[in-house]
Structure 1
Amino acid sequence: MRVSFKKAVYMYIWYVSNTVTFRQLANLFAVAPSAAWSTVRRLTSFLISISHEYIKWPQGACMQEVVRGFEEKKHIPGVIGAIDCTHIAIKGPREQRSNYFNRKKTYSIILQAVVDCNKRFINITCGEPGSLHDYRVLRRSQIYEVAETRCGEIFPNSNFIIGDSAYPSNNWLVSPFKDYGNLTESQRKFNEILSSTRMVVENAFGLLKGRFRRLLKFTEQTDLKSVTNIVASTCVLHNICITMDDLCEDNEADFERFEENMEDSYLDGSHDRREILFNYLREQNIIYFLFHHSNNAAIAIVKIKSFHCTYMH
């Protein structure tokens, strides 16, 4: 008998949510192993076919909502996403095996993602060999080509994305200052603010792998295209869950002036987007404000711990 669509959905969800083999999946749902494999592939193909409805770059009012969401977090205006990469462990492939051997001495493919303020994937690139550096993955991705050739289309109003120190800083991507031991206090605080803001992409990866534990390790499949498709399909399902609120977790004038400065940076390539953002946060005392409050919080924690230790003694 043909596997019903409802049963196929259950089988797919069970497969990506656990680390069972196809034989175990077949026994659990009383089907042949070949049927289990074809069912997972069928649901994977379906999710990828609707991916454009759920994984999409924000536009218009949606983009402004994302920008406001990031600004409310750490007072950084103009951010529409945070970019990072994560490794998906796989069984060593037959061809070009060494290319997938990463720095952690395991085989993997790379998932690159840009995430909005709500942990929703707005752009993904999946399947690059695990030996590649994060910046090289970006250089080989479609988003890089579009950003370099048609920047105004995906980064209107001088918006930008943020990343960690693996990425360079340019007009549409802001990364931390390189720390060679000579950073000023303000630059260090800037790095801390940027790091805490881009933590949303780390949280998104954690939520993705926590919900879909199959992504922790592919022990059977050696077909890289199938593995890549399954990973991409879970990203679609991740966004669907967020859309359905199914989660397993937990001043205007100044902004206009900031946007004007950002527009000037497009006209003059000698300007550094990171420097403009750094100067803005420093001028608005945002760096000092967060540093001051973080110090107070640290002092409070020390006092609480001291009180606790005294009480226990």
Structure 2
Amino acid sequence: MGLNKCVTAVVGAAISAAALGTAAATHAAICTIRNEKEHILTLTPLEFASMLSNPAYDAWFRKNLRCGQAAFVRLCAILRRELTDYELDRFVKEHTFEEKVACLLFFLGSQGGYRETTAAFGVLKSWALGVINLFVKSLRSSLHKFVHFPRSKTEWRRIETEFQAKGGIAGVVGAIDGSLIKILRPDDFEGYYRRRMSPAVNVQAVVDARMRFMSVEVRPGSWSDQKTWRASALGSNATKYLPDGTHFLGDAGYAICPAIMTPFDEDDGAGLTRKQLRYNYLHSRTRMSVECAFGLWKGRFRIVNCCLNTKNVEKAVDIVAATMVLHNLMLDINDDTLFKDDSGQEGGDTSDEKDGCTNCGCFVDKTARFLRVGARKRESIVAFTEAFELV
């Protein structure tokens, strides 16, 4: 009998200890959850309004919304005026237009997706999805309003003058290059895998001397820069867009043609003359505008600096177009926030092929003659670069 009581007492003590341990663990877990929630930044409409009018939060705007406070206010005014198809009353009315724009910029400027955005602003994911998607589609539909070539001879001359001041190469009205943006594997993935065996899209862009995008083309990631150029509307009708005697600067990923001046090939075994080496240096110095534009674009909108969390190619194109429109608007309003592209990704030359530029639109003759015309044009430019003084 005494033994049974002893066993019962021991078992009871063990059960009590286990219960106390479970309770303590539960309490600790609850405390941990509470502490985690306490550290989530949530912005009510009143708090955001006060942040918008307080200059002390300028650093917060630059870090999280990727632009200065004054630039954000000007951007909101432009978007409210230009995006006339945006339905202001479609979503919860207590959220202001400025807060909706802030939600969009936070999403595009971070790599945390909808989860991080909704946590930061204290809104429902469904609301954020609706607002961001509508903004992105509206911006893409306005692409040609903000991303376009000059519409007057005066603007073309201004761009040519600014490029010539960089490296002394005459006739340059744009720098062209491609950049890879990783995406999730599409359902129809044929052609989207790049050399590093991951799906991507190749974004070809032409920029002016101020790093402003003037043209954009999005193609599958396996396409080389040259193939993308040939298939693009720009490559098919270069004479329609370019003033007489002008051209773009492109890297060795493109084949030389009257519309694109490329550097001399330093690996052809023949060696380069002093004039050709000087031309290559000035060519690189002038063409750097497109590299800087991609770096600023990816640095500001970090969503394109990592793998886009979508397998829908059309949605990826929407995001690329929307961010390029915003990039141009930020330059137009002189936002001075600087970023850098630290992705370490290679450019858009995704293939070793260097096929001839057979569909440039400048000529409809055979590729051999087409290349010779471009080469002769480059040789004539080399002579004029001798007079440019290096600074």
TM-score, normalised to structure 1, is: 0.79
> Residue 41 in 1 paired to residue 142 in 2?
no
Secondary structure of residue in 1 paired with 2:253: coil
The C-alpha deviation readout for 1:161-181, integer Å capped at 9, x for no partner, is: 110011111111111122312
Secondary structure of residue in 2 paired with 1:229: helix
Secondary structure of residue in 2 paired with 1:190: helix
Q: 1:197 aligns with which of 265, 276, 286?
A: 286
Counterpart position of 1:117:
209
Unmatched 5+ stretches in structure 2: 1-91, 340-361
Q: Distance in 2 between matches of 1:174 and 1:89?
A: 28
Structure with greater helix share of residues: 1
Q: 1:67 to 1:283 in 2, by over 3 A?
A: closer
**CA offset at residue 20 of structure 1?**
1.2
Residues 258, 377 of structure 2: 8 Å contact kept: no
Q: Distance in 2 between matches of 1:50 and 1:69?
A: 27
Q: Distance in 1 between matches of 2:113 and 2:338?
A: 28
Within a 5 Å distance, the mapping from 1:163-178 to structure 2 comes to: 163-178=250-265
Q: Report the residue type matching 1:189 in the other structure.
A: R
> Residue 29 in 1 paired to residue 118 in 2?
no
The C-alpha deviation readout for 1:249-269, integer Å capped at 9, x for no partner, is: 49xxxxxxxxxxxxxx98x97
Counterpart position of 1:77:
170
Counterpart position of 1:62:
155
Residues 261, 374 of structure 2: 8 Å contact kept: yes
4+ aligned runs moved over 6 Å, structure 1: none
> Residue 272 in 1 paired to residue 361 in 2?
no
Q: Report the residue type matching 1:159 in the other structure.
A: T
**CA offset at residue 160 of structure 1?**
0.8
Counterpart position of 2:327:
238
**CA offset at residue 221 of structure 1?**
2.0
Q: Distance in 2 between matches of 1:31 and 1:274?
A: 58
Residues 177, 250 of structure 2: 8 Å contact kept: yes
Residues 190, 278 of structure 1: 8 Å contact kept: no
Residues 168, 385 of structure 2: 8 Å contact kept: no
Counterpart position of 1:136:
227
Q: 2:236 aligns with which of 145, 170, 177?
A: 145
Secondary structure of residue in 2 paired with 1:156: coil
**CA offset at residue 235 of structure 1?**
0.4
Counterpart position of 1:8:
100
Residues 209, 215 of structure 1: 8 Å contact kept: yes
Unmatched 5+ stretches in structure 1: 251-264, 294-313
**CA offset at residue 274 of structure 1?**
4.0
Residues 170, 381 of structure 2: 8 Å contact kept: no
> Residue 102 in 1 paired to residue 190 in 2?
no
Secondary structure of residue in 1 paired with 2:280: helix
Residues 169, 274 of structure 1: 8 Å contact kept: yes
Which has the larger Rg? 2
Q: 1:272 to 1:57 in 2, by over 3 A?
A: same
Counterpart position of 1:86:
179
Secondary structure of residue in 2 paired with 1:157: coil
Q: 2:302 aligns with which of 200, 213, 217?
A: 213
Residues 175, 274 of structure 1: 8 Å contact kept: no
**CA offset at residue 24 of structure 1?**
2.3
Residues 181, 308 of structure 2: 8 Å contact kept: no
The C-alpha deviation readout for 1:122-177, integer Å capped at 9, x for no partner, is: 00012x11111111111111111221xxx1x3111311111001111111111112
Q: 1:274 to 1:200 in 2, by over 3 A?
A: farther
Residues 207, 248 of structure 1: 8 Å contact kept: no
Secondary structure of residue in 2 paired with 1:99: coil
Q: Report the residue type matching 1:71 in the other structure.
A: Q
CA RMSD of aligned residues (A): 2.3
Q: 1:275 to 1:89 in 2, by over 3 A?
A: same
> Residue 183 in 1 paired to residue 267 in 2?
no
Q: Distance in 1 between matches of 2:187 and 2:384?
A: 56
Q: 1:283 to 1:81 in 2, by over 3 A?
A: closer
Residues 164, 170 of structure 2: 8 Å contact kept: yes
Counterpart position of 2:15:
none
